[in-house]
Each structure stands twice: as C-alpha cells, then as structure tokens.
Amino acid sequence: MDFKSKNVAELRQELVEKYNYTEEQVSNITGKTSLVNELLKNMMNNVSLADENLSPLEDPTIFDMDVESPFDNLPLDLVSEEINDQHPKWTEYVLSHLYPSEKSDGYPTMQGLRRLVEYFVGPIVETRSNVVMAPSDMNGNHATVITTVVVEKKNGTFTVVEGCANANDFNVDKKYKKFPVSMAQSRAEARAYTRVLNLHTVSADEVVNEGEIEGQDQITEKQVKTIENICNRAAINIEKVLAKHGLANTILKDIKESKARELLALLISYEQTGVPEELK
C-alpha cells in the first residue's frame, strides 16, 4: 500500500472505512505521520487487512516512506527484520503492538497482555487460578494467588507458565481494597503472560498510585471488634494480654495493625488450646 501519495484527508477516510474509526477519533489524530502509524498498527494486528491480506512487513513501499516508525522509539530496521525475545529491544517491540485502550499510564493491562500472547505465541487453551492465601483479619486482608496459563505455540507444542501475586490494603488503590482476591488474580495472570512473552515490565494492575493507598498503620475497627469478641467469649483479660506483649498501659485502639494481627493469631490459638490462667 502506497501511503506516500495519500493526503491527510484520504488517510483519515481509510481509518473510517476500513477500521471503523469515528470522525471524532480520526480528527484527534494530527499529522500525516501519526495517521500512517495508526494505519500500520491496525494492519499489524490483522484488523480488516485489505489488499489481499498483504502483511505490512511484505510491502516494500512502507519502508521507503520518510515517516516515523509505527512502534515508539524503534528504528525501522527493527520493524522490517525479524527479531526474537533475546533482542535488547524485544520488550519495547512487543509492547508497541498495544492499543491505547490496552495501556494505563504507559503500562500494559492484563487484557492487552493476553491479546499479545495470542498474537505472538499462540492461542491460550487454559487459564486456572489457585488462591493460596485467602484474606482475613489475621493476615491483614492479604490475598495470594497463583495463576497457571497453558498456551499452544504456533509450532504445535505447549508451554505452561505460572504467575504468583498478592494484594492487600497496602498495595492496591482504595477503590479496589474490597477485592483483594480479584486484584491478586489479575496480577498473577498478567505476570504469567509477561513470562510467556519474556517481557521485562510490570502490568498496569501492579502499579499503584501511592496517593490512592489507604494507609493503615493503626489497628482497624474490624480488628478491634474481633479481638474484643474473642476476649469476651473466652474470658480473656485484654489488658493482661497487651502487658504480656510489651504494651502495658496501652489501649487496644492505639496499637499497630501488624501487632493486632499477631494478637489475633494468638487469641485464636488460645480458643483452641486453652487460655493461660495468668491471662484470665
């Protein structure tokens, strides 16, 4: 396909007709270079490829153009030559195939990585997750998940890769803190995909805006209520428990969240093994 002879209006029209862009979308793409790059990215992802399914890598006119590469900061020789996952710019090359909607603050989303796996490696035939640690008051609402991904490679063989990730109140945004298992699962799946692709990056699911983390150095209200309920049920003197752990003259609501988890684990064990007399 000869892009040299086309003007900006014609390139925009091609995006509308072939790739279902709206007039508003194409009007926001400024400059001929940007329009050509957008067309090339669609062609590379086999979206309604015209011209008898001709791959852009097989069209010599593409590499004769005096335009920027369709891949961010990649020289055109990397686009025209076949590079593998040992190439120093492999990660950059693969991630350049992401659509804007598949990135968040420059990092790939789990859904975008999934598509790249099927594009570069082969179809994903199985994805399964195992929750190895469920969130609770005792562990600080901490969830750990291992996700296994099975991919059928283009040569007919299979590759099996695992990804492990965790999520808790201190490493997820406030709006997602109620879903630690889901967050851990998404992160684990994304990590599995980056391993399949041999990418040196983290996913958008793993990047946290520190301003969005709800800091929790102090014991939570839920932990306070749980400790009080256990002490009342088992006739445990909470002041004696605190004093035994170096917290004499300290009220329960003033202790640290990490110490509260230790106390919860201890109190639960007392319910199972019996309460020492000195703590009654």
Q: Report, as an integer, the average pLDDT of 120-132.
A: 94
User: Do the domain assignments include residue 275?
Assistant: yes
Claim to verify: residue 129 and residue 197 sit in the same structural domain = yes
12 with 32, same domain: the answer is: yes
Residue 150, pLDDT score: 96
Q: Which residues pair with 130 in a beta bridge?
A: 146
pLDDT band at 271 (very low <50, low <70, confident <90, very high): confident
Same structural domain, 149 and 200:
yes
Task: Examine residue 113 and state whether it is found in any structural domain, yes or no.
Answer: no
pLDDT digits over 164-217, tens only?
A: 999 887 788 877 888 999 999 999 999 999 999 999 999 998 887 655 555 556
Predicted pLDDT at 109: 95
pTM above 0.85, yes or no: no
For position 94, what pLDDT does the model report? 92
- Tell whether 226 and 202 lie within a shared domain: no
- Going by C-alpha positions, the residue among 195, 205, 138, 137 that lies closest to residue 171 is 205
Q: Which residue has the higher pLDDT, 258 or 64?
A: 258
Asked whether residue 208 falls in the same domain as residue 243, the answer is no
In a domain, 202, yes or no: yes
Per-residue pLDDT, 228: 87
Domain end call among 187, 212, 237: 212
Which letter, b or e, does each residue of 209-229 get, where b requires 16 or more Cβ atoms within 10 Å of its Cβ?
eeeeeeebeebbeebbebbee
Of the three residues 192, 212, 232, the one that is the final residue of a domain is 212
Which amino acid, one-letter code, is at 186?
S
The Cα–Cα gap between 137 and 95 comes to: 39
Which residue type sits at 201? T
3-class secondary structure, 275: coil
CB 274 within 8 A of CB 237: no
Q: In this predicted model, what pLDDT tens digit does every residue of 25-49 receive, in sequence order?
A: 888 887 667 777 787 777 766 433 3
Residues 198 and 238 placed together within one structural domain of the fold: no
Tell me the average pLDDT across 56-67: 37
Q: Is residue 111 part of a domain?
A: no
Asked whether residue 171 is domain-assigned, the answer is yes
The pLDDT value given to residue 77: 46
Same domain, 208 and 225: no
Q: Are 193 and 186 in contact (CB under 8 A)?
A: no
**Segments forming the whole domain that contains residue 158:** 125-212
8 A C-beta contact, residue 199 and residue 110: no
**Does residue 116 form part of some domain?**
no
Cβ-proximal residues to 118 (8 Å cutoff; 6+ apart), any chain: 124
In degrees and rounded to multiples of 5, residue 144 shows phi and psi of -125, 130
Backbone CA torsion sign across 270, 273, 277, 278: negative
What integer pLDDT is reported at residue 117 of this predicted model?
95
Q: Of 82, 106, 139, which closes a domain?
A: 82
Domains held by the chain: number = 3
In a domain, 142, yes or no: yes
> Do 142 and 205 sit in the same domain of this protein?
yes
Sign for the CA dihedral angle at 35, 36, 41, 46 comes to positive
Summarised one tens digit per residue, pLDDT across range 69-83 is 334 444 434 443 457
Whether residue 1 lies inside any domain: the answer is: no
CA distance 130 to 128: 7
